[in-house]
Structures are given as structure tokens and as C-alpha cells.
Structure 1
Amino acid sequence: MDSGGLAELDDRITGCRACPRLVEWREEVARTKRAAFADETYWGRPVPGFGPADASLLIVGLAPAAHGANRTGRMFTGDRSGDVLYTALYDVGLASRSTAESADDGLTLYGVRITSPVHCAPPANKPTPQERDACRPWLVRELELLRPSLRAVVVLGGFGWQAALPAFAEAGWAVPRPRPAFAHGARLSLGSIELFGCFHVSQRNTFTGRLTPAMLRHVLRTAAAVAGLTTTPYAG
């Protein structure tokens, strides 16, 4: 695996200024801040992927949260959605700790990498189709670099599913047409890899019970087994 290539890609992503609306928003949020984080220095830039360069399992989200990853500089770190995701990864043995508070908190992922189809925090958590498409080459290149080790992918939510399938096609996988619709529990074989659909770990989904911890753990365990990763038993 070309770890230098992935590190270089991550560095290039953090300097991207391709989408004026997203640049303005992420930097405005970093200046004004949330009162609870008034003493912190926000990252305020595109957020690269997080996890080992030889990951066999990839998790694809949506975009950084304004006061989460846009503040901390690491995927799903510093917000409630991240709390849900990292707790589940820890529960099944794929993360070294259940909390993700800052980019230097010592959290390690085991065989798992986390990325998103849009790397800047968008207003109202809603990137436009144009912003999604402008960001796609980053995901395509990340997939190309991960290809030697990648065996399974968990896609969180319909937006991520719709953004990921064209990226996989551009990266060289044979994606069926018409493209399969997103559903929680959906499973799609692309030959060398398996894609799994999972409801997003958003507060709306987790607070209402649309996505429960047990549902999330089940998807992660199933995908991890395909990826050749060992998980730990967990009640529930």
C-alpha cells in the first residue's frame, strides 16, 4: 500500500478551496465559533480521511460537522454523531477507545478508515450536488490508493450512497446500472469489495431510534467479517 500517496492526498485535501460557498461557511464558523468552544482554535479547513493506509474496511459518511470535525480536524470527532460511531467501533473491537474528542486524543482504528464524499462542513449539513461532484475526485483517488487492501465499505446514509457509487465506478469497479437504491441493510457486491448501506449516525436517526446501537454494531460486524477483521463479542 502506498502510504506516502495517501498521506500526500490528505495533505492536498486540506488545502482545497474549490467551492466558494463551503470555504466561506467553514471559515465563518471557525471565526465565530460556538460558545462552548470559544477558547478553542477551530480547524476551519477541509477534513481528510482518518485511519490506516492499509485499511480493509472503509466507512463513508456525508460531510464534516460545523462544530465537530470542522473544529477538531478529524472525521466524526467532537460531535454526537461521532460519539455514536466511535462507541460502536469500540464495542466491536475496531477502535482503541469509545470517545473521539480531538485529533491528538490517541484514538486508533484497527483496519478501518473513515472518509466522506464532501470534505468541508456545509451550511445546514447539506452540500449541493455541484459541491458533491466537485469533491468526488478526492474520493476517487482515495479509493484507488486503498484498493490493494480494501474489502468492505459501510456507507452511512442516502447522500453518501449516491455520492459513493459514481466514485467507485470512476475508480474502476463495475457498478450495476441502474444503480441500486440506498437502504439500511443493503448489500452490493462490486467483485473485489462488498458495499453495505447503513442509516447515518445523525442525531435525528439515533435520537428517534431509527438507528439503534445494536443495528449499527450489526452492520459493522457483518462488514468487518467480509473485510477479514476480527471483532469482539458484545451484548445487545
Structure 2
Amino acid sequence: MPSFGDPGARLLVVGLAPGRRGANRTGRVFTGDGSGVLLFAALARHGLSTGRYGGDADDGLRLCGCMITNAVRCLPPGNRPAAAEIAACRGHLAARIRALPELAAILTLGRVAHDSTLRALGAAPAALPFAHGAEGRLGTVTVFASYHCSRYNVNTRRLTPEMFDALFLRIRDALAG
């Protein structure tokens, strides 16, 4: 699954893997399933997209200063990646990070994306333990952690739009500074 967004991105959002009913079906990360609803709405509210999210890859949505990718590039068996698959895809994530010369911040969605991103940056997960709202600087990049914006996390209110917006405000401040 290719990344989606602005090649001059200052913010990279890292998810887990393509969803079976979402990105694997539509061809665009976080598109076509419940995970994209909260994410794309937040990106719009914070000026990181233009157009309107319509749930398919042809909806005209564009990201501005932002790119979205996944820690795992292919649909995992049982919709849950194994450790070996996560490790095998880490080189792709590291390459994506290196290919963004203006990158200043990374938002990781969920523990797997968070830990894989830290490893792709050459750090151990203990350097910035996962917790919603965790923030830390690794080299020239500030990493922000969030619960994944899955329908389950949203429906159970583990992650609310208000929690997500509060994190995006901190990201916006980091990008401005």
C-alpha cells in the first residue's frame, strides 16, 4: 500500500497496516473504513487537507504538509500483523521517513506503529514509551503518540475527537516552532 499525501510533508502520520475493508479495497491508506473518518476530519479541521473525504480514493481529497503511511505495507493475515511482518516492513518505513526532507513531526497511531517508527528512527521503544499523548524528540523529529483511530477505539471512547484535536493542536504548535 503506497503512502498518501504531500511529498513536502512536515508531518507524517503512521498507522498500523492496510485495513481489509478499507485501504486494501480502496487503494488509499485510511480510506473506506471507520479509521479514516476521525483521521481525515481532524486533518481538515487543522488545515492539513483540502477537498472532502468521501471514503474512496477518487474523492478529490488532498493533504497539505502531511503524508500518511503504515508501519506494515500489506494486508496482514487475520488483519493482525505478526512481529516478523512488522520487522520485514520496517525498512520501507525508514525509507519513507528519509524521503521527507522537511519532516518535523511524526504522529504514530497505536503501539505497533509507534514502536516500529521508533525503531525505524534508530531508537528503542523504551526511548519514548507508548501512551496516548506521549511526545519526544528523536534527532530533528518530534514524535507524538496516539491511540489508533479505529472504529473500536472511537466507539468505546478510548479515543475521542476532543482527545485527537488536543494532540493535533500540540502538533501544530511543534510545526510552527
Q: Which residue of 2 aligns with 1:151?
A: 104
Shift, 1:190, TM fit: 1.1
Map 1:78-89; keep pairs closer than 5 Å. 78-89=32-43
Q: Which residue of 2 aligns with 1:163?
A: 116
Residue segments in structure 1 that go unaligned for 5+ positions in a row: 1-46, 170-174, 230-236
Equivalent of residue 223 in structure 1, options 143, 165, 171: 171
Q: Which residue of 2 aligns with 1:19?
A: none
The structure that is strand-richer by fraction is 2
Cα pair 1:68 1:77 within 8 Å, conserved:
yes
Against the structure 1 CA distance between its residues 73 and 179, is the aligned structure 2 distance closer, same or farther, given a 3 Å change threshold? same
Shift, 1:180, TM fit: 2.5
1:125 aligns with 2:125: no
Equivalent of residue 190 in structure 1, options 138, 155, 170: 138
RMSD, aligned CA: 1.6
Q: Which residue of 1 aligns with 2:147?
A: 199
Length, aligned pairs only = 177
Distance 1:81 1:177 in 2: 24
Map 1:92-107; keep pairs closer than 5 Å. 92-107=46-61
Distance 1:176 1:138 in 2: 18
Equivalent of residue 71 in structure 1, options 3, 25, 29: 25
1:211 aligns with 2:159: yes
Against the structure 1 CA distance between its residues 198 and 216, is the aligned structure 2 distance closer, same or farther, given a 3 Å change threshold? same
What is the TM-score with the length of structure 1 in the denominator?
Answer: 0.71
Cα deviations by residue, 1:14-43 (Å, 9 ceiling, x for unpaired): xxxxxxxxxxxxxxxxxxxxxxxxxxxxxx
Letter in 1 for 2:71: P
Q: Which residue of 1 aligns with 2:69?
A: 115
Letter in 1 for 2:166: H
What is the TM-score with the length of structure 2 in the denominator?
Answer: 0.94
Q: Which residue of 2 aligns with 1:34?
A: none
Q: Which has the higher contact order (CA 8 A, sep 6+)?
A: 2
Shift, 1:100, TM fit: 3.9
Cα pair 2:31 2:55 within 8 Å, conserved:
yes
Shift, 1:124, TM fit: 3.4
